[in-house]
A and B are shown apart, each in its own frame.
Chain A
């Protein structure tokens, strides 16, 4: 079943169009930066962006920081929201279940496909932005090393390792989004409703983060630690927020996946 869902994913035109749209933002920013040479002042704007003018190899991280707050979660919410509700609306859900595919397996296959989509998007964005960063913004010259936020040097392997960690962290954040959207997808009949419900949670969370009165809620808001992957590029690595983020996302994943599973396996499929 997982293979079938992955095939559907890579064969679908929507997958590639969505990835292209998401990828367009970092591409545009790279071109603008290269042609104007005007970067944000250090400490302002998206993370890493002030640093990439000096060092193009950091651009994949800047690109990730650009798409992580809105573009990628939206795409994940659309894909995961469509997972069950879309099949139901299309009428194919009853035939898939009567095939028979066990409901738990179907749910897991859908989740794997959504995460494969998120990973694919992140990899495409990382690859294109690395190429762009090195060619348009200039790589580090031989003998020179990448600099962390703390001002110390970072070797090539260290950079690669920390980038991989950051990628995993971003994936976990998206797993949280996917779990919420998948849960809603088992409840509502319209995929749009599942997607919009998830977006409402994300936007509400980002809004509350800026509100002083919501301080007590802050540690539990789903988007609270999303950009903490930046801390992986300090020296020494600032683990606190990253660990908090992992715990929080794991909580969201467990709660919403279990709720979605419990709802789906006991549901009357009447669409």
Chain B
């Protein structure tokens, strides 16, 4: 669905994106992570043909961009750096206007498609108030509705849950999961690790314009080779496992060991009551922090 080869963008002396090779396949929910200023938004804009690449190529839905934008983009729904709408018009009028601007979808079923999209994002009962009077969350939902209106094959979303409350975030997550189940590929750019962890099955991590990680989420969250043990008998367990303990807490131990079954037997035979024994997995946070530096919003002295 998305392929970039050596994609780079330079603004004057600043290299915003450097030699990016993105691979997003059909049916993926791809999480695009990175600190602030790492080039996520510039990349999204290059995918959509808004920013023109200094070098490298972008292929969307199997076609070169921005050369074939006219064929490709009607099948792509996008939310880039927050929603935007004509403030003096109602949400519905905004959607109708945007829909009328280009190809994809017929005029006859426009009203129906608008209703569908509004229903999907939870704005079905919206009245004729101008967008000027909308709350941040409502604008965000309207932006999503605009992205969904032509039932796109690919959704490119930049921070889609911005400004939503926990309830709203949950709704959008469910919506994206549902769309993905129906075959929509989702490219989600975010710096919210929890959001990506819950939603995505593939992850790319950007750091200072370079793609430092790109893999299946499950592979990234592999075991660390340590086992986590919860027990009320911490002191006794320490005696048995001396030399292998790498972390200790009131009721928990982290032990370097490669076979949970053997370890369990050792503990039980030694009179340790085991409440829980599980391999430790890396979190997405570990992966990202390991792979990236500080964002550019940090300005140390």
Binding site for B on A (CB under 8 A): 1, 3-4, 7-8, 11-13, 90-92, 94-102, 266, 268-270
Contact = CB atoms under 8 A, between A and B. Distances in A.
Nearest to A266: B52
* Nearest 10 CB-CB pairings of A with B: A91-B84, A100-B73, A269-B50, A99-B102, A268-B51, A98-B48, A100-B69, A92-B84, A98-B78, A99-B101
B168 interface: no
A269 B98 contact: no
Nearest to B66: A100
Contacts of A4: 97, 100-101
A10 to B, nearest CB: 13
Given A4-B101, A268-B52, A270-B45, A99 B73 contact: yes
B102 A90 contact: no
Given A4-B101, A269-B51, A95 B146 contact: yes
Using C-beta atoms within 8 Å of the partner chain, give the interface range for chain B: 20 to 34
A150 B81 CA distance: 64
A271 to B, nearest CB: 9
Nearest to B146: A95
B80 A98 contact: yes
Interface string B83-100: 111111100000001101
Interface of B: 11, 42, 45, 48-52, 69-70, 73-74, 76, 78, 80-89, 97-98, 100-102, 146
A96 B49 contact: no
Nearest to A265: B52
Nearest to B84: A91
A94 B87 contact: no
B117 to A, nearest CB: 14
Given A1-B101, A268-B52, 10 more contacts: A1-B102, A4-B97, A90-B87, A95-B146, A96-B98, A98-B50, A98-B73, A100-B70, A266-B52, A268-B45
Nearest to B94: A92
B82 A100 contact: no
A102 B70 CA distance: 8
Nearest to A109: B101
B82 A91 contact: yes
B146 A90 contact: no
A270 B82 contact: no
A60 B240 CA distance: 104
A14 to B, nearest CB: 9
B101 to A, nearest CB: 5
Nearest to A269: B50
B84 A95 contact: yes
Contacts of B84: 90-92, 94-95
Given A100-B73, A269-B45, A270-B45, A92 B85 contact: yes
13 contacts: A4-B100, A13-B88, A91-B84, A95-B98, A96-B98, A98-B49, A99-B73, A101-B102, A268-B50, A268-B52, A269-B50, A269-B51, A270-B50
Nearest to B53: A268
Contacts of B146: 95
A27 B70 CA distance: 49
A11 to B, nearest CB: 8
A5 to B, nearest CB: 9
Contacts of B89: 11
Contacts of B52: 266, 268
Most chain A beta carbons < 10 A, residue from B42, B50, B87 = B50
Contacts of A269: 45, 50-51
Nearest to A91: B84
Contacts of B97: 4, 7-8
Contacts of B85: 92
A270 B49 contact: no
